[in-house]
Amino acid sequence: MKWKLSVLCLLCASVCVKVCVGEEEEEEDRTPVEMHGMVTSPLYPKPYPGNVYVEWELAVPKGYRIQLSFTHLDIEPSDDCYYDSLMVIYDQKVLWKFCGQANSADGNHPGNEAILAPGNRLRLIFQTDEGNPGLHKPLGFSLFYQAVDVDECKEGEEVGKTPPCAQLCLNTLGSYYCSCHHGYDLRADQRTCTPSCHGGEFRELQGTLSSPGYPEPSPHGLQCIYNITVDPGYLITLNFSRDFHIEHIQDHQPSCLYHWLQVTIPGREPLKLCGGESPGLLHTGSHWAELEYHTDWAGLSRGWRLHYTTQRVRCDIPNGIVNGHVTPSLPEYLYKDYIYVRCETGYKLMKEGKEIPKFGSMCQSNGQWHNSLPECHIIDCGDPMHLMNGNITFISEVKENQYRSVIEYRCNEPYYSFDKNYKEVQLTCEADRKWKQASNDVIPVCVPVCGRPKHLLRSSQRIFHGELAKRGEFPWQVLLNAGGRGGAFVIAPQWILTAAHNLMNVEKQEIKLRVGSIVVDELLKTRPLEVDSVHIHPNYIGTSGGRKDFDNDIALIKLVNPITFGEDIMPLCLPRPDSQYPTGKLGSVSGFGVDEKGSVLNELRYVRLPLVDQAKCRASIDAQKSVASDISDFTDNMFCAGFPEGSKDTCQGDSGGAYVLQEGDSYWAAGIVSWGISCGKADVYGVYTRVAQYLDWLTKTMEQNV
Ligand SMILES: *[C@@H]1O[C@H](CO)[C@@H](O)[C@H](O)[C@H]1NC(C)=O
Ligand SMILES: *[C@@H]1O[C@H](CO)[C@@H](O)[C@H](O)[C@H]1NC(C)=O
Ligand SMILES: *[C@@H]1O[C@H](CO)[C@@H](O)[C@H](O)[C@H]1NC(C)=O
């Protein structure tokens, strides 16, 4: 069998060898291929007839040879088997021509040994002449054929033949393949071997590479590829050993003409190395490098060796964070390092105009941070809570609602003041974004200051005629119109106090309350205060059934909207539980009522009247009662004020106004103008509702109608 390897075969792997074997012979004939079979002469085991010519074509699979084993051969012997014979033909040539009998010198008997054909096909021809003269009638032949594997390896060792493999040959059924000793690789021809490059892929973060066989000189005909590929976050550095030698040709340009080590780094010109000097350190700046070592079939290179290491990619040092800092603080930041940014107290993290709860960023393989740095912005406490009837001023240099800003709350003095004992309250914008007081957290409220008019009456005044009031002297005064003209007074932002008799049989909508001026014409130009509800003392009787009973002549009016106090409007203080009514003490009464001539006033007037002893007052009223019958009883819920000589008094139209007493520098509502027999008479006093008797009722009513 011949070996012919097609061009195709050179390129393919060793498994292919089988397919390629004996391709040439293909399609020559269609003889059935068998692994074994029998062939006998005609009529066997009876003697064969004369004048026969029989042909057999035998075939076994490619890669095998045919082996013939005769079980019997008995053919008329003749010289050169001239008359009768069995011919074995291979490839148009007669290999053997058999005749004769076993153990006979005549003819050419194959003997008992099996005979091996040189290929996988044979032609057998059995031919005889007309007859056999002798007594013995030969029987012909019987043979067994089978496919026998060719040991191509052994055959190659025979003298004068080319061994099929350069190093190791391994026979297989119907074929063979070549392999190499350790340290060598099979070349593409599937036959010859080359020293192993130990090349391929290097994926570790460090490693060692050297030329094949190093430190022995490099073999010829090398084409070694080394591919170093690591995680993209690492940069490769090659460190060549000092012993470096690659043949270089002095006379040629370029000198690395036949032997070279080419280093390829992405984005750079490939670098061809040769000569006797080590390149030393080579920073590739890349996570990928390819080395190709080439030797041709001549020359000498003693080889090379290198150790490669990797360094993590470096990211910029993150800085420039104003009012914040980066943790951890490192001298350099490398691939996969993680940083956080924290702002100083009072600052918040901002990114792209939005506040973020926290910030972290990682150094990426491309040397960039995966998250761009945030900024630290000062925190903002927002607008401080509005202070009703007060205002807010910045007392810090920075007039914004930001960290460490300080504001001051002040009530609108002198008409309002804090409900506690302080004049101003300072708040600081703290890191938790809240306005906080240094001492306590209660935001104070501004409460109206009562009974402290801007202009105090000159108490030295000893003239007791009715006087024109000045602006701001009786700022609690209310002009009441409810059927007729009356008085009332402010005691709280939403509460007006008056006499019950002013409001009897009057609808809520008919009640017109006006404040803020001492001139009636001016007042009538203003919108009346809107009434929410009316609360007449439940025990007030008044003038019903022809009887007069002015006990409990007190009523409260609740306003829809609170009044804002100022110079012209201010509440009057209520009595304190321990307030006294000392006889002879001067109080003041103001009103828009009628004067002594009986004409309705256009301007607020007032009189100053002393408190009268209760017994004296009762006696005066009892005296009147003896003359007139329709006079109310005098009770402990009332008091009198006035002069025994008369002339100055409160009168119609003043009803419901306040009788005020001064205590310290403020006025309190001691009485409500209630009733009298007639105005300005001698020995007759004006009667007032004693407000101090009604503290409980007032408090309760106001609390229940918030
Ligand atoms: C080297 O290895 C890398 C990663 O496996 C691959 O992308 C590249 O194509 C290889 N280079 C060569 C020349 O084989
Ligand atoms: C390079 O390798 C040599 C030993 O061959 C060693 O002494 C030297 O420190 C290495 N250089 C670096 C930068 O690793
Ligand atoms: C707050 O009060 C101060 C002092 O009383 C005054 O100067 C300032 O104008 C007031 N501001 C406002 C907004 O009312």
Tens of pLDDT along 263-296?
999 999 999 999 999 999 999 999 999 999 999 8
- Same domain, yes or no: 513 and 563: yes
User: Which of 243, 240, 246, 212 lies closest to 306 in space, CA to CA?
Assistant: 240
Q: Are residues 290 and 331 in the same domain?
A: no
Residues 493, 565: contact at Cβ < 8 Å?
yes
Are 604 and 653 a contacting pair, CB within 8 Å?
A: no
395 lines ligand 3 (CB under 6 A): no
The answer to whether the CB of 322 is under 6 A from ligand 2 is no
Q: What is the pLDDT of residue 565?
A: 94
Instruction: Confirm or reject: Cβ of 229 under 6 Å from ligand 1.
Output: yes
Beta carbon of 423 within 6 Å of any ligand 3 atom: no
Cα of 336 from ligand 2 centre, angstroms:
26
Going across the sheet that includes 260-264, the strands are 200-202, 223-229, 288-294, 260-264, 271-273
Instruction: Report the pLDDT value the prediction gives residue 458, as an integer from 0 to 100.
Output: 59
User: Among the options 301, 590, 655, 674, which is catalytic?
Assistant: 655
Residue nearest to atom 4 of ligand 2 (CA): 241
Which ligand sits nearest to residue 242's alpha carbon?
A: 2
Say how far apart CA 409 and CA 417 lie, in whole Å. Answer: 11
Q: Is 70 exceeded by the pLDDT of residue 478?
A: yes
**Whole-number pLDDT of residue 647:** 58
- pLDDT for residue 55: 94
Q: Is the pLDDT of residue 106 over 50?
A: yes
- Looking at the CA of 201, name the nearest ligand: 1
Model pLDDT, residue 527: 95
157 falls within a domain: no
Strand partners, 349: 376
User: Do residues 405 and 530 share a domain?
Assistant: no
Angle at 413 between CA 409 and CA 417, to 5 degrees: 65
User: What's the start-to-end Cα distance of the chain, in Å?
Assistant: 123
Residue 6: which pLDDT band, with cuts at 50, 70 and 90? very low
Residue 74 lies in a domain: yes
What number is the average pLDDT over the span 683-692?
Answer: 89
262 lines ligand 2 (CB under 6 A): no
- Asked whether the beta carbons of 291 and 262 are under 8 A apart, the reply is yes
> Are 251 and 299 contained in the same domain?
yes
Mean pLDDT check: name the lowest of 5-14, 109-118, 119-128, 572-581: 5-14
Q: Among 84, 16, 10, 92, which Cα is nearest to 52's?
A: 84
2 vs 267 pLDDT, higher one = 267
The CA-atom distances, in angstroms, between 617 and each of 38, 465, 643, 662, 676 are: 166, 21, 11, 22, 11
Centre of ligand 3 to C-alpha 391, Å, is: 6
For residue 215, the CA-to-ligand 2 centroid distance in Å is 18
Is residue 290 in contact with ligand 1, taking CB distance under 6 Å? yes
Q: Virtual CA dihedral for 450, 453, 456, 457, nearest 10 degrees? A: -90
User: Residue 276: left if φ>0, alpha if ψ -120 to 50, beta else—which one?
Assistant: alpha
Please give the mean pLDDT across all residues of the chain.
86
Residues 72 and 141 in one domain: yes
User: CA 233 → CA 18, 236, 362, 364, 661, distances in Å?
Assistant: 48, 10, 12, 7, 91
Nearest CA owner, ligand 2 atom 10: 239
How is residue 240 written in tokens? 């060549």
pLDDT of 650 over the 80 cut: no
What per-residue confidence (pLDDT) applies to 171? 86
CATH of residue 411: 2.10.70.10
Secondary-structure percent of the chain, ordered helix, strand, coil, rounded to 5: 10, 40, 55
Last residue of a domain, one of 89, 124, 150: 150
Which element (helix H / strand E) includes 696? helix 695-704
Is 553 among the catalytic positions? Answer: yes
Mean pLDDT computed over 185-189: 83
pLDDT band at 4 (very low <50, low <70, confident <90, very high): very low
Centroid of ligand 1 to alpha carbon of 290 (angstroms): 8
Q: 150 near 67, Cβ under 8 Å? A: no
Is the separation of the CB atoms in 110 and 81 below 8 Å?
Answer: no
Would you say residue 123 lies in a domain?
Answer: yes
Q: Distance, CA 11 to ligand 1 centroid (Å)? A: 22
- Taking alpha carbons only, the member of 687, 692, 691, 693 closest to residue 549 is 687
**pLDDT value at residue 279:** 94
pLDDT tens digit sequence for 65-79: 999 999 999 999 988
Q: Whose CA is nearest to atom 1 of ligand 3?
A: 391
CB-ligand 2 contact for 281 (6 Å cutoff): yes
User: Residue 270 is encoded by which pair of tokens?
Assistant: 């490939």
So what's the pLDDT on residue 252?
Answer: 64
Give me the mean pLDDT over the 661-688 stretch.
Answer: 84
Q: Residue 63: which pLDDT band, with cuts at 50, 70 and 90?
A: confident
The C-alpha angle with vertex 429 and arms to 426 and 431, in degrees rounded to 5, equals 140
Q: Residue 240 is part of a domain; what is its CATH number? A: 2.60.120.290
Query: In angstroms, how far is CA 203 from the centroid of its own chain?
Result: 34
Ligand 2 lined by 132 (C-beta under 6 Å): no
Q: Examine the domain organization and report whether 646 and 618 are in the same domain.
A: yes
pLDDT at 126 over 90: yes
Whether the per-residue pLDDT at 158 is higher than 90: the answer is no
3-state DSSP assignment of residue 17: helix
Q: What is the pLDDT of residue 249?
A: 85
Q: How far apart are CA 669 and CA 252, in angstroms?
A: 124
Residue range 411-430: mean pLDDT, rounded: 86
Segment 99-127 mean pLDDT: 89
pLDDT for the residue numbered 597: 62
Instruction: Report the distance separating Cα 116 and Cα 65, nearest Å.
Output: 7
Is 501 among the catalytic positions? yes
pLDDT-derived band of residue 681, with 50, 70 and 90 as boundaries? low
Best of 208, 238, 307, 311 for a ligand 2 pocket test (most atoms within 8 Å of beta carbon): 307
For ligand 3, say whether the CB of 391 is within 6 Å of any of its atoms. Answer: yes
pLDDT in tens, 163-178: 888 888 888 887 888 9
- Judge if 537 and 560 occupy the same domain: yes
Domain final position from 312, 334, 368: 312
Does residue 70 lie within any of the structural domains? yes
Whether 116 and 245 share a structural domain: no
The last residue of a domain, from among 312, 336, 351: 312
Element spanning 285, H or E: none
C-alpha span between 175 and 170 (Å, rounded): 9
For residues 298 and 322, membership in a common domain is answered with: no
DSSP string, 172-204: ETTEEEEE--TTEEE-TTSS-EEE----EEE-S
In the structure, what pLDDT confidence band is assigned to residue 425 with cuts at 50, 70 and 90?
Answer: confident
Residue 15: pLDDT above 60?
no
Task: Flag whether 648 is in a domain.
Answer: yes
Token pair, residue 602, equals 């256009």
Which one of the ligands is nearest to 307 CA? 2
Tell me if 206 CB under 6 Å of ligand 2.
Answer: no
2 found inside a domain: no
Domain range holding 294?
197-312
Place of tokens 């709860």: 357
Among 90-99, 123-132, 437-446, the range with the most confident prediction by mean pLDDT is 90-99
| Domain total in the chain | 5
- What count of other Cβ atoms lies within 10 Å of the Cβ of residue 275? 15
Task: Write down the pLDDT at residue 1.
Answer: 34
Lookup: tokens for 145: 């054929």
Mean pLDDT value across residues 434-447: 78
Confidence of residue 679 (pLDDT cuts 50, 70, 90): low
Residue 553 alpha carbon to ligand 1 centre in Å:
108
Q: Whose CA is nearest to atom 7 of ligand 3?
A: 393
pLDDT tens for 17-57 read: 333 334 444 445 677 888 999 999 999 889 999 899 999 99
Which residue among the candidates 259, 501, 535, 537 is catalytic per the annotation? 501
Ligand 1 atom 4, closest CA: 229
pLDDT of residue 185: 81
Would the CB of 231 count as within 6 Å of ligand 1?
Answer: no
**Which residue's C-alpha comes closest to atom 11 of ligand 1?**
227
Both structure tokens of 282: 């080579």
Mean pLDDT, to the nearest integer, of 345-354?
A: 94
Do residue 675 and residue 693 come from a single domain? Answer: yes
How large a percentage of the chain has pLDDT more than 70?
Answer: 90
Question: Are residue 325 and residue 267 in the same domain, yes or no?
Answer: no
Is the CB of residue 561 below 6 angstroms from any atom belonging to ligand 3?
A: no
Q: What is the pLDDT of residue 643?
A: 82
DSSP-assigned letters across all residues of 254-280: SS-SSSEEEEE-TTS--EEE-BSS---
Q: How confident is the model at residue 652 (pLDDT cuts 50, 70, 90)?
A: low
| Residue 490 confidence (pLDDT) above 50 | yes
| pLDDT the model gives residue 675 | 87
Does residue 18 or residue 580 have the better pLDDT?
580
**Phi-psi sector, 404: left (phi>0), alpha (psi -120 to 50), beta:** left
Is 505 within the bounds of a domain? yes
Q: State the pLDDT at residue 164.
A: 85
**Within 10 Å of residue 30's Cβ, how many Cβ atoms?**
8
**pLDDT of res. 17:** 36
Give 333's DSSP letter: E
**Is 211 annotated as catalytic?**
no
How far apart are the C-alpha atoms of 56 and 50, rounded to whole Å?
Answer: 18
Other CB atoms within 10 A of residue 184 CB: 18
Q: Is residue 457 in a domain?
A: no
For position 599, what pLDDT does the model report? Answer: 65
Same domain, 136 and 204: no
C-alpha to C-alpha distance for 210 and 226, rounded to whole angstroms: 10
In 3D space, the residue among 573, 607, 594 whose CA is nearest the CA of residue 654 turns out to be 594
Count Cβ atoms below 10 Å from residue 237 Cβ, excluding itself: 18
Mean pLDDT, rounded, for 643-668 = 80
Q: Which ligand 3 atom is the nearest neighbour of the CA of 413?
A: 5
